[in-house]
Each structure stands twice: as structure tokens, then as C-alpha cells.
Amino acid sequence: MLDTQEPPVVPTGERRRGLAGFLFSGEGWPYLLLPFIPIALALEFAGGGPALIFATSTIGVIPTAALMGRATEELADRAGPGIGGLLNVTFGNLPELLIAFFALREGLHEVVKASIIGSVLGNVLLVLGGAMLVGGLRRERQSFNRRAARSQATMLILASAALVMPAVWELVEGGGLPPPGAELVNFETPVEELSLIVAIVLLLAYAAGLWFSLISHRDLFNPPSEMEDVGTEPWSIRRSVIVLAIAGIAVGAMSEILVGSIAETAESVGLTEFFIGAVIVAIVGNAAEHWVAVYVAAKDKMDLSINIAVGSAAQVALFVGPLLVVISFFVGPQPLPLVFNGFELGAILLAVIIASHITGQGESTWFEGLMLLAVYVVLAAGFLFA
């Protein structure tokens, strides 16, 4: 027999108040920026000003980051913070990878390298600092798995050591480091071949790291303490994956528009392409994990937050940067050598040392987060005047 009972009717006013409350809450505010996606597309097709196109396409990435963050949290609640963090940095780095790919195709090599370094700095200083600050405001201190965090930080240190080696070769045997204002520098063949060797080694190390975190030492990266607190209306795995895929496609469109306007925007607003790549593009390209790391830290899920922030930085150094080097042998005007300028070298060495020290303690306070943010602001100021 069919059930003819009608479902309860929710008054329109309550539904509106509920929707408005969600959109202006900590979870829902990014969706208010959804209109910037069609606005950016319209400006691109209509031939609008480059600075306006750059700004709207940059903002258009934010709501897709929020969708990625929600889907990642749903998956992490089922699989644990380790695998959830891995899924987040995989999809979270997709915007950055797409932005760098389009820049690589346009021959903006120094912008690509600046975005790689800027991404590492953004994650271990800006994101980690923001997460510790927000998460610690209402708590005396927050604890996290020190062994898992130290493992991520160690991978980041080893990857950074390999990344700086081509620059050391260029200082000793080549013509010196590139200036911060450069766009495309012609390097000698040996440093390009050395960069390719470094890239292959780092990709192999990244594959080994996946085996370590997901297979051989899964328990280390999936502590049971954060595998609870499932929402009242959880998303299915299928829904979460579909949302991640749709958000990735939207980010791809925004990335191509963004890259196409970088050069003219830099000239029109008086900023260098180096600063845009190291700060603006790096923040936008990592907007997904930026949002999620701070959001889950506010919910006292510091293991997941640390995995996202430090794990994403390690993935950029071990996977994104090396993969771009390999791709550059097939895309763009010439191969991409991993020869960073002096500002980039100094900044990444300072950042990985700080990250290693902070994560080795196994606990954090809001003041440590504030100090990380202060260091990031100082480095960004140095990039601005470079």
C-alpha cells in the first residue's frame, strides 16, 4: 500500500533564514563568491581589462576551494586524516598544477618557479600559522601526532635539499642565479639535465612516501582519535568525489584565464611577475587546502590540519615541482631548470627549518601561529620590493 502522507512543510521564511544563515556562516560564505566565475568568463570573452579579469578569476577559485574542502572533510571522516589529507592535497594542488601548466606553456618559467616556492612558504607559514592561530584562540593548546608531523617535515627538508642543488651548480659552474624580475632565462644544458635527474628522484621518493603513509605505516597517519564526529547528514563517497571533480574543472577554466592576464596585470598595477607568482598565484593555487586546514583546526582536528599544511608543502616539493620539470621537456619553449633566485632559496630554507621545529613539538598555541604568520608577512614584503 502506498503511503499517501505528505511530508511536513517547512515555511518559506524559515528556509530563507536557514539559507541566509548558512551563506553568512564560517562554512557558507565562500559560496557567495560563485557569481565571480561567470563574471570572469564574461570579461574574458568580452575583452575586459587584464587587471579586472585577473581579480575576478582569482576570486572565482575560492568557492571551488570551499566545495573541495567540504568533500574532503566528508571523506576524511571515513578514511582518517591521513588519507583525507592526501585526497585534499591531491585535489587542492590541482589548481596550482593547472595554473603552472598554463604558465609553462606561455614560457613564464620564473613565474612557475616562484609559484612552487610560494606554495611551500604559503603552506608551512601562512596556512599552518593561520590554522594554529584560529584553532588556538579558544584553547590553551592543541595537540597532534608528533611522529606523523615530523615524518612530513622530514620529507619536506629532504625534498628542499634536492631542489636547491641545481641552483648550487649554477652558482659554482654556471652563470649565476636569475634575477627576481626575469621571465624566461636561458640556462646551459647540464643544469637542465641535472634538474631532470633531480625531478625523477623526487618523483620516486614521492611514490615511496605514498606507500609509507598509506600501506606500511597507515596507522601512523590515521590515528583513530579524529575518525569520529561524523556530520548528521554525511555525503556519500560518490557525491564527494563528484564534487571534487566538478570543482577541479571549474578551477581549470579559471586558471587558464588567470595566467593569460598575469603579464598585463603586473604591468598595469606595478607589481612584478615574481611577486604575483610567489604570493598571489601561490595563495590562489592552494586556496583549497588553505581553507580546509584552518577550518578543521578550528574544530580541533589538528592532525588533519597538519597533514594538509605540511603534507601539501611536501607534495609540492616532491611531486608538483618535479612533474612540471618533466612536462617542460614536452610543453613550452624550453625545459624548466630548477634554478631558483636568491630570495627563493633563502625563503625556502628558512621555512623548512621553522616547520621542522614547530611540528617536532607535538602541540601548538595561537602565539606560535601568529609568529608563523609574521614570518610569512616579512618574506612577502621582501618579495614585493625585490
What DSSP letter does each residue of 68-115 carry, written as one string?
Answer: HHHHHHHHHHHH-HHHHHHHHHHHHHHHHHHHHHHHHHTT-HHHHHHH
**Could you give the CA distance from residue 30 to residue 65 in angstroms, rounded to a whole number?**
8
**Could you give the CA distance from residue 348 to residue 274 in angstroms, rounded to a whole number?**
15
**Could you give the CA distance from residue 319 to residue 210 in angstroms, rounded to a whole number?**
11
Average pLDDT over residues 102-127: 88
At 280-321, the pLDDT tens digits run 888 877 776 677 788 888 888 888 888 888 888 888 889 989
Q: Where are the alpha helices (DSSP H) in the chain?
A: 12-23, 36-46, 50-79, 81-105, 109-121, 128-136, 146-163, 165-172, 189-211, 218-221, 237-260, 262-269, 273-275, 282-285, 287-298, 302-315, 321-328, 342-359, 366-385
Counting Cα atoms < 13 Å in the Cβ hemisphere of 232 gives 0
At 214-236, the pLDDT tens digits run 677 666 665 554 444 444 467 77
More confident residue, 95 or 345: 345
**Which whole-number Å values give the CA distances from 59 to 36, 128, 287, 350, 356, in the listed order?**
7, 22, 10, 30, 32
More confident residue, 369 or 222: 369
Four-point Cα dihedral 371, 302, 358, 146, nearest 10: 170
Average pLDDT of the chain is 79
pLDDT at 126: 92
pLDDT at 30: 73
| Residue 8 in this model has a pLDDT that exceeds 50 | no
| Residue 9 in this model has a pLDDT that exceeds 50 | no
Average pLDDT over residues 182-188: 74
pLDDT at 4: 41
User: Which span out of 14-28, 133-147, 167-181, 367-381 was modeled with the highest average pLDDT?
Assistant: 367-381
**Could you give the CA distance from residue 139 to residue 298 in angstroms, rounded to a whole number?**
10
Question: If pLDDT is split at 50, 70 and 90, which confidence band does 27 have?
Answer: low
**What proportion of the chain, given as a percentage, has pLDDT over 70?**
80
**Could you give the CA distance from residue 182 to residue 49 in angstroms, rounded to a whole number?**
24
First to last CA, the chain: 76
More confident residue, 369 or 269: 369
Average pLDDT over residues 323-331: 91
Average pLDDT over residues 157-175: 87
**Which whole-number Å values give the CA distances from 92 to 57, 117, 320, in the listed order?**
17, 16, 11
Average pLDDT over residues 335-345: 90
pLDDT at 315: 85
The residue count of the chain comes to 386
| Residue 116 in this model has a pLDDT that exceeds 80 | yes
Largest pairwise CA distance in the chain = 85
Domain annotation for the chain: domains and CATH numbers: 31-385 (1.20.1420.30)
**Could you give the CA distance from residue 254 to residue 53 in angstroms, rounded to a whole number?**
10
Average pLDDT over residues 243-262: 78
**Which whole-number Å values give the CA distances from 41 to 162, 202, 266, in the listed order?**
39, 37, 20
pLDDT at 218: 65
Q: Are the CB atoms for 93 and 286 separated by under 8 Å? A: yes
